[in-house]
């Protein structure tokens, strides 16, 4: 792509965008440039209506009968089947339940149980904190049977030894947006006799993933980021079919029982992934996620990726052209094929700069210590949003607007 010189040229890119129609389906506020879909995706316009119906006619009208008459009991499996093609899994290889953190706990425990005598959960120091915390918690519970080893990224390969039960990594780094080579690392884990568990929180819905092709053993991911399921939407868990028979979950709830309504005293797992359900599924949240996933039916993930790369390339090029003198450093890989759907810029005043941007309606986020993070969800981000974001950033920097004292107050969620 040759770099556009004017805003009008950027509008032409939007006019030619084969995915432009997807944006129309979102309820995005006027005057906002939303670049934080990697933290919380926006609602579809139809989600509010669907939830209204769920609360009114379904819950209100059917009451407890709704579990059968409205198909609530089958909803986790139906939603799982919508997520499966986005990550290259079979319908029966995905479960939708709980949060990403809780799913990690279940799958790490299952992985460790599949590799007796190998206590190590291998990860990288820079992994998302909850992934490391959950592994630490499991290790405490299992005492000598499990421990977390979190090493620098460049030491991952040499650390794959005979002690490792499972390699646990996040496909797209949440700070830098750097992509791991999922296929090569999974192969390396297998050659060392270990299993591979991938966190797809920043991949599903924006970056093509093929868990089966890579022969990944396990994966988890989020429903509320690029999948747009709403705040705290249920998460997903993938288990390769070859592991279904030996899958032992430590959270043996009744919804993962073979026959929850037999009310027998002894736990018997449901077939395959369905045993990963624990308690009663959050139906209203699942309905919102189900509605959101309808967006992806018939959409080619490769087309999403092409647009995502074009958006991030444009952003980087414009930042380098227009903000060269303002102390930013590109904290994401420059090569598009090593980058997810976000771009991070490091700046010593990153927090205040991001607050100033947000005050002007350009919403990204900040990650300590100094990263401004911009997510470019290809389903609804326009090329003109990229242009306007850089224009606004340029104004914030040239007027030193970020120095205003009220922009230094840190809220609980950054
Ligand atoms: C967002 C994110 C999570 C979130 O986990 P929750 O349990 O849903 O809060 C986990 N892992 C990664 C890598 C994430 O980016």
The catalytic residue among 26, 34, 105, 128 is 128
106 given a catalytic annotation: no
Tens of pLDDT along 281-316?
Answer: 999 999 999 999 999 999 999 999 999 999 999 999
Q: Is 174 in the pocket of ligand 1 (CB under 6 A)?
A: yes
Which pLDDT score is estimated for 408? 84
The yes-or-no answer on residue 224 being catalytic is yes
Cα 99 to ligand 1 centroid, rounded to whole Å:
8
Ligand 1 centroid to 63 CA: how many Å? 33
Examine the residue annotation and report whether 128 is marked as an active-site residue of this protein: yes
Distance CA 117, CA 119 (A): 6
Residue 301's pLDDT is 94
Q: Is the CB of 212 under 6 A from ligand 1?
A: no
For 166-179, the pLDDT digits (tens) are: 999 999 999 999 99
| 199 a catalytic residue | yes
Report how far ligand 1's centroid is from the alpha carbon of 89 (Å): 20
Catalytic residue among 98, 131, 199, 217: 199
**C-alpha span between 206 and 184 (Å, rounded):** 21
For ligand 1, say whether the CB of 39 is within 6 Å of any of its atoms: no
CA of 325 to the centre of ligand 1 (A): 35
**Closest residue by CA, ligand 1 atom 4:** 100
pLDDT at 407: 85
Nearest to 283 by CA among 70, 27, 46: 70
How far, in Å, CA of 172 to CA of 340, rounded?
Answer: 6
**100: Cβ below 6 Å to ligand 1?**
yes
Closest C-alpha residue for ligand 1 atom 14:
201
Is the minimum distance from the CB of 99 to ligand 1 under 6 angstroms? Answer: yes
Establish whether residue 235 lines the binding site of ligand 1, counting it when its CB lies within 6 angstroms of any ligand atom: yes
Cis preceding linkage at 369, omega within 30: yes
Question: For this structure, is 225 an active site residue?
Answer: yes
pLDDT value at residue 410: 84
* pLDDT value at residue 1: 63
Alpha carbon 318 to chain centroid, angstroms? 26
Burial class (CB in 10 A: 0-12, 13-18, 19+), 67: middle
Residue 202 CB–ligand 1 contact under 6 Å:
yes
| pLDDT value for 409 | 85
Residue 401 confidence (pLDDT): 87
Q: Which atom of ligand 1 is nearest to the CA of 127?
A: 13
171-217 pLDDT per residue, tens: 999 999 999 999 999 999 999 999 999 999 999 999 999 999 999 99
Question: How much distance in Å is there from the Cα of 326 to the middle of ligand 1?
Answer: 32
What's the token pair of residue 57? 């006619």
Instruction: Decide whether any atom of ligand 1 lies within 6 Å of the 124 Cβ.
Output: no
Ligand 1 centroid to Cα of residue 244, in Å, is: 24
Whole-model pTM? 0.97
Beta partners for residue 343, in sequence order: 374
40 within ligand 1 shell (Cβ under 6 A): no
123 by DSSP, 3-state: which?
Answer: strand
pLDDT in tens, the chain (414 residues): 678 889 999 999 999 999 999 999 999 999 999 999 999 999 999 999 999 999 999 999 999 999 999 999 999 999 999 999 999 999 999 999 999 999 999 999 999 999 999 999 999 999 999 999 999 999 999 999 999 999 999 999 999 999 999 999 999 999 999 999 999 999 999 999 999 999 999 999 999 999 999 999 999 999 999 999 999 999 999 999 999 999 999 999 999 999 999 999 999 999 999 999 999 999 999 999 999 999 999 999 999 999 999 999 999 999 999 999 999 999 999 999 999 999 999 999 999 999 999 999 999 999 999 999 999 999 999 999 999 999 999 999 999 888 888 888 888 888
Ligand 1 close to Cβ of residue 226 (< 6 A)? no
Q: Kindly give, in sequence order, each residue whose CB lies less than 8 Å from that of residue 61, ignoring residues fewer than 6 positions away.
A: none
Q: What is the pLDDT of residue 220?
A: 98
Please state at what angle helix 283-293 crosses helix 75-87, rounded to 10 degrees.
40
Residue 18 C-alpha to ligand 1 middle, in angstroms?
A: 31
Do 340 and 25 form a contact (C-beta atoms < 8 A)?
A: no
Closest CA to 334 of 312, 303, 367: 312
């Amino acid at each position: 792509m040759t770099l556009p010189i004017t805003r009008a040229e950027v509008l032409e890119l939007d006019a030619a965008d084969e995915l432009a129609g997807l944006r129309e389906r979102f309820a995005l506020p006027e005057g906002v440039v939303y670049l934080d879909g990697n933290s919380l995706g926006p609602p579809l316009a139809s989600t509010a209506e669907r939830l209204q119906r769920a609360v009114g006619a379904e819950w209100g009208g059917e009451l407890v009968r709704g579990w059968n008459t409205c198909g609530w009991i089958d909803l986790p499996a139906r939603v799982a089947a919508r997520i499966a093609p986005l990550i290259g899994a079979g319908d029966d290889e995905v479960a939708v339940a709980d949060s990403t953190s809780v799913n990690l706990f279940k799958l790490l425990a299952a992985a460790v149980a599949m590799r007796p005598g190998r206590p190590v959960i291998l990860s990288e120091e820079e992994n998302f904190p909850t992934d490391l915390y959950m592994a630490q918690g499991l290790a405490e519970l299992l005492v000598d049977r499990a421990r977390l080893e979190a090493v620098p990224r460049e030491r991952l390969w040499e650390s794959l030894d005979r002690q490792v039960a499972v390699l646990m990594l996040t496909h797209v780094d949440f700070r830098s947006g750097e992509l791991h080579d999922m296929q090569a690392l999974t192969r390396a884990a297998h050659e060392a006799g270990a299993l591979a568990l991938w966190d797809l929180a920043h991949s599903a819905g924006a970056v093509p993933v093929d868990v089966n092709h890579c022969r990944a053993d396990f994966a988890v991911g989020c429903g509320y980021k690029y999948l747009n399921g709403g705040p705290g939407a249920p998460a997903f868990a993938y288990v390769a079919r070859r592991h279904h028979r030996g899958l032992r979950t430590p959270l043996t709830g009744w919804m993962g029982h073979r026959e929850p309504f037999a009310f027998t005293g002894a736990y018997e797992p449901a077939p395959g992934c369905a045993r990963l359900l624990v308690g009663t599924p959050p139906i209203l949240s699942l309905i919102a996620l189900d509605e959101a996933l309808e967006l992806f039916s018939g959409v080619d993930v490769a087309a999403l990726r092409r647009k995502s790369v074009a958006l991030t390339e444009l952003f980087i090029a414009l930042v380098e052209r227009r903000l060269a003198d303002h102390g930013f450093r590109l904290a994401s890989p420059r090569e598009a094929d090593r980058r997810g759907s976000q771009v991070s810029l490091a700046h010593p005043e990153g927090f205040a700069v991001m607050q100033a941007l947000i005050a002007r309606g350009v919403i990204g986020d900040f990650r300590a210590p100094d990263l401004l993070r911009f997510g470019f969800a290809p389903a609804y981000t326009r090329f003109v949003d990229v242009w306007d974001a850089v224009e606004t950033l340029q104004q914030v920097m040239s007027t030193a607007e970020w120095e205003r004292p009220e922009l230094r107050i840190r809220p609980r969620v950054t």
